[in-house]
Amino acid sequence: MSNKNYWCYRIDKSQSKYFYSELLEGRLRQGWGWDQKQDLRNFQMDGGAARNRPMFNKVKKGDILIIPQLPNWGEVAVAEATEDWNVGYYFEIDKNLWDYGHIFPAKYIKKFIRSNEKVTGNLRSTLKNPSRFWNVNQYASDIEIILNSTESDLYKTQDYNSRLENSILNTFSEVFNEKLFAEKLFNKLNEQFSREEWEYALVYGLRKLFPFYEIERKGGILETHHGTDILIKLPSILSNYQYAIAIQVKDYEGYVKNDVISQINKADTYWENENLKLIDKIVIITKAIKDENLKLLEEDSNVKFIFANELKQILNEIGKRYIGMSQE
């Protein structure tokens, strides 16, 4: 019996062509790798890169990876790890994109479309998982059906409706420039919104992305006590409290002082007294860029920062959701 494991692995969908070309060369890239200190072999700075450590430690030679939205929108790639990832991994930032420095050894095998009759309901369902990386060993037999089928068979749709949908998705992915869309939307909003207006806009947008969460603007007089502009409440299996994410919004440019950390840290005790268990503290800085504030990321590992570039990606997802495009 084979000892291989099966994993799902997400990429930055806005750069799917780039990821595909790299995979064809044996390099499966991953994001939040824009500083040499994020090298997983000598890890010194997070900035989101810590979320890559499970894949670094767990994926072994011969494991199978299922990668949604690769090589095109609506398609799913299948790849195989060619070495243990904690052995074959290396770090090399792309000189044009200035990111995606985490490189894992893998080879492309084939692709399939979700609407194909050989793709089981279980597999279609797990592909909706928003995580970056997760184990799907429970669907090993479903994935083996894919591995034992020809790519041409895996590209046949079940009916005319599915064929039409796939053609639309493929054409749209060729025409729609996500990066340009995100850039223009970001610039337009920065022209129109002050900090307070950003809070209202982000609450509206986050509700679009997460319709089942309770999302409220909390800025105002009490902000001096809780340091929170936006509060996201998540359900708990226990009835005596809820989980919460506190967000502080700043429209700063250039270098950002570390007093933003002391502000958001007020959320810890305040929301605990409101029967909320705080699981994340995030500072959104709408104009400043990450490269000018690298030291800020090292001040407090419990506070996460979203700078202009990451905000563009969030706005991109909000915009796509607003016009009816799938987030999967």
Give the model confidence (pLDDT) of 142-156 as tens digits.
999 999 988 878 876
Q: Output the CA angle 64-65-71, nearest 5 degrees.
A: 130
Name 313's Cβ contacts closer than 8 Å, sequence gap at least 6. Answer: 12, 14, 182
Residues 158 and 258 in one domain: no
Residues 124 and 14 in one domain: yes
pLDDT digits (tens, 9 = 90+) for 221-235: 778 889 999 999 998
92 falls in which pLDDT band (50, 70, 90)?
A: very high
125: domain CATH number is: 3.10.590
Residues 207 and 168 in one domain: no
Is residue 324's pLDDT more than 70?
A: no
Residues 195 and 219 in one domain: yes
Residues 106 and 224 in one domain: no
**Could you tell me the sign of the dihedral formed by the alpha carbons of 62, 66, 70, 71, in that order?**
positive
248, part of any domain: yes
Residue that terminates a domain, selected from 145, 174, 203? 174
> pLDDT value at position 160?
56
Residues 108 and 187 in one domain: no
Residues 154 and 190 in one domain: no
328, part of any domain: no
Structure tokens at 53: 């450590």
Residues 139 and 207 in one domain: no
Residues 235 and 285 in one domain: yes
Name 153's Cβ contacts closer than 8 Å, sequence gap at least 6. Answer: 116, 118
111, part of any domain: yes
Q: What is the DSSP string of 88-154?
A: H-EE---TTTS---EEEEEEEEEEEETTSTTS-HHHHHHTT---SEEE-GGGHHHHHHHHTS-HHHH
The residue with greater pLDDT, 221 or 95, is 95
289 falls in which pLDDT band (50, 70, 90)?
A: confident
The total domain count for the chain is: 2
Q: Which long-range contacts (CB under 8 A, 24 or more apart) does 81-89 make?
A: 81/105, 81/106, 82/26, 82/106, 82/107, 84/59, 84/60, 85/55, 85/56, 85/57, 85/58, 85/59, 85/60, 86/56, 86/57, 89/40, 89/41, 89/56
74, part of any domain: yes
117, part of any domain: yes
Kindly state the average pLDDT of the residues 19-40. 93
Residue that terminates a domain, selected from 150, 174, 198? 174
The model's pTM is 0.58
By C-alpha distance, which of 62, 79, 63, 85 is closest to 11?
79
Residues 102 and 156 in one domain: yes
237, part of any domain: yes
Residue that terminates a domain, selected from 141, 174, 207? 174
> pLDDT value at position 1?
43
State which H helix or E strand residue 290 sits in: none
270: domain CATH number is: 3.40.1350.10
Full domain range(s) for residue 190: 178-322
327 falls in which pLDDT band (50, 70, 90)?
A: very low
Least confident of 138-152, 171-185, 206-220, 260-274: 171-185
> pLDDT value at position 219?
73
For the chain, give the percent of residues with pLDDT over 70. 90
Kindly state the average pLDDT of the residues 118-145. 90
98, part of any domain: yes
Q: What is the DSSP string of 145-188?
A: HHHTS-HHHHT--SSHHHHHHHHHHHHHHHH--HHHHHHHHHHH
Kindly state the average pLDDT of the residues 4-14. 91
- Phi first, then psi, for residue 290 (nearest 5°) are -65, -40
Residues 110 and 139 in one domain: yes
1, part of any domain: no
Contact 300, 321 (CB under 8 A): no
Residues 160 and 288 in one domain: no
> pLDDT value at position 229?
93
Helix, strand and coil in the chain, % to nearest 5: 40, 20, 40
Is residue 103's pLDDT more than 90?
A: yes
